[in-house]
Amino acid sequence: MSRNLRTALIFGGFIFLIGGAFYPIYSRPLLRLEDYSLTKKKQAINRAGIVQVDVQPPGLKVWSDPFGRK
């Protein structure tokens, strides 16, 4: 095997591994938005009766979104 081919295979394998690692982190959620929108709806239903002040440990400020999103 020539030296250039071996180097190309090593770098190609490395890039393939990086791409394989980033697929479930970045690409898959973007391709399957319906799964994440259903999860968001389920969380809204499950948390409907929870008052955040009641479950917050004493002495800590209640969390709020610093960017003001709704």
The pLDDT value given to residue 15: 96
pTM summary value: 0.46
Using pLDDT thresholds of 50, 70 and 90, give the confidence band for residue 68: confident
Task: In whole angstroms, give the CA distance from residue 21 to residue 28.
Answer: 11
Task: Tell me which residue of 7, 6, 9 sits closest to 17, measured CA to CA.
Answer: 9
The pLDDT value given to residue 27: 86
Residue 57 near residue 50, CB atoms below 8 Å = no
The pLDDT value given to residue 70: 62
Question: Residues 14-52: pLDDT tens digits?
Answer: 999 999 999 888 888 888 888 877 888 888 888 888 888
Task: In whole angstroms, give the CA distance from residue 31 to residue 56.
Answer: 35
Q: What does the DSSP assignment read for 35-68?
A: HHHHHHHHHHHHTTT--HHHHSPTTSPPP--TT-
